[in-house]
Homo-oligomer: A and B are copies of this chain.
Amino acid sequence: MWISDPIYPVFRTRHLQRLIEKGLDEAVQFDEDCPTRLAEAIRYSLLAPGKRIRPYFVLLACALCGGDPSNAVPAACAVEMIHTYSLVHDDLPAIDNDDLRRGRSTCHKQFDEPTAILVGDALIPLAFETLGKLSSPALTGICSVELARAAGASALVGGQMDDVANEKNHNSNSDSASIELLERIHLRKTGALIRVSLRLGAIIAGASNRRVAALDDYGKNFGLAFQITDDLIDVQGNTNTAGKQVKKDAELNKWTYPSLLGIEKSEAEAKRYVNEAINALSIFENDYPEKEILTKAAQNLIGRSK
């Protein structure tokens, strides 16, 4: 198992883990109309040993809001499908041209480029089809629109588009403008999907708008801290911890928190976001174990890169 990331064990309660892996596995049992090689490549990509942070967030948010996490499994699977498609497409030769992902060959390396494009293209609608397993068509409709926005041109894809440009040219001419752009990229590229994971869990539990907003705020700050620590892993970590190639950002001359702020200040920024994330949870009662798990998950971001 390649995952030695310290945030992983916090999330990994066996009950939730089983719900997620079973849900994902069931969602990729295709009928004979799906070509064998496509099914194989989808399973290869989706069932690779990922940290499943987003699905855990869906289930934990649901439980924290008093819902039964097993009702939220379709949404947990859906966000992981969107996340996985984004990795498969980001890794393509035309974009990041990566060979290694989740400790294995990337999809286009293991299969081929057309297959990797089509795996991504199939995972997106599969996410929305999977939301059809929620308890009512109305809940499916509400969650679909939430997920669609998070995966769309003003969120996930927009962040990725700006990130591709970030590799190519640096338009801003001040460090503060650069940090601002970098934050805007992360808010969309990483943040949007983490936020919607927490929102979906809360919505499925029937939570109040106030609770949905609090979890959204946790997700926003967690996402920013997560991205900074990811950048720090790229500078300091090794391929074994990351499960993907490291030192890549510098090679691509990419802006990152450490390259703009230095390591020390980046760590301070990460800590600030971690504290914001934990503060966002203050409206929830302490006797829910999920509150503690979410708190620890945020705290454990510090030290990921060590």
Hey, which bits of chain A sit against chain B, CB under 8 A?
A: 30-31, 33-35, 37-39, 42, 85-86, 89, 92-95, 113-115, 117-118, 120-122, 124-129, 131-132, 134, 136-142, 144-145, 147-149, 151-155, 157-158, 160-162, 164-165, 184, 188
User: What B residues does A149 contact at CB under 8 A?
Assistant: 125, 129
Nearest CB of chain B from residue A139's CB, rounded to whole Å: 7
B128–A144 touching, CB < 8 Å:
yes
A33–B94 touching, CB < 8 Å:
no
User: What B residues does A34 contact at CB under 8 A?
Assistant: 153-154, 158
B148–A129 touching, CB < 8 Å:
yes
A114–B126 touching, CB < 8 Å:
no
A137–B142 touching, CB < 8 Å:
yes
User: In the complex, which residue of chain B has the Cβ closest to the Cβ of A35?
Assistant: B161
User: What B residues does A37 contact at CB under 8 A?
Assistant: 161, 165
Q: How many copies does the complex hold?
A: 2
B132–A141 touching, CB < 8 Å:
yes
B140–A144 touching, CB < 8 Å:
yes
User: What B residues does A136 contact at CB under 8 A?
Assistant: 138, 141
Measured between alpha carbons, how far is A158 from B89 in the docked complex, in Å? 18
Q: Which among B95, B118, B155 is the interface contact of A161 at CB below 8 angstroms?
A: B118
- Would you give 30 A-B contacts (Cβ < 8 Å), ordered by A? A33-B158, A33-B188, A34-B158, A35-B161, A35-B165, A37-B165, A89-B118, A89-B121, A92-B117, A93-B94, A94-B117, A95-B114, A95-B117, A117-B117, A118-B161, A122-B157, A122-B158, A124-B124, A125-B157, A126-B153, A127-B148, A128-B144, A129-B145, A129-B152, A132-B141, A134-B141, A137-B138, A137-B141, A140-B142, A144-B144
Nearest CB of chain B from residue A146's CB, rounded to whole Å: 9
Residue among A86, A115, A128, A139 with max Cβ neighbours from chain B (10 Å): A128
Nearest CB of chain B from residue A62's CB, rounded to whole Å: 18
User: What B residues does A151 contact at CB under 8 A?
Assistant: 124-125
User: What B residues does A139 contact at CB under 8 A?
Assistant: 137, 141
User: What B residues does A30 contact at CB under 8 A?
Assistant: 153-154
A161–B131 touching, CB < 8 Å:
no
Measured between alpha carbons, how far is A121 from B116 in the docked complex, in Å? 13
Nearest CB of chain B from residue A297's CB, rounded to whole Å: 26
Nearest CB of chain B from residue A170's CB, rounded to whole Å: 15
Nearest CB of chain B from residue A52's CB, rounded to whole Å: 21
User: What B residues does A128 contact at CB under 8 A?
Assistant: 128, 144-145, 147-148
Contact A94-B113, Cβ < 8 Å, known A153-B30, A153-B42, A158-B33: yes
Inter-chain pairs besides A94-B117, A137-B138, 18 sampled, C-beta below 8 Å: A35-B161, A38-B161, A86-B121, A95-B114, A114-B164, A118-B160, A118-B161, A120-B121, A124-B151, A125-B157, A128-B144, A132-B145, A136-B141, A137-B137, A137-B139, A137-B141, A140-B141, A144-B144
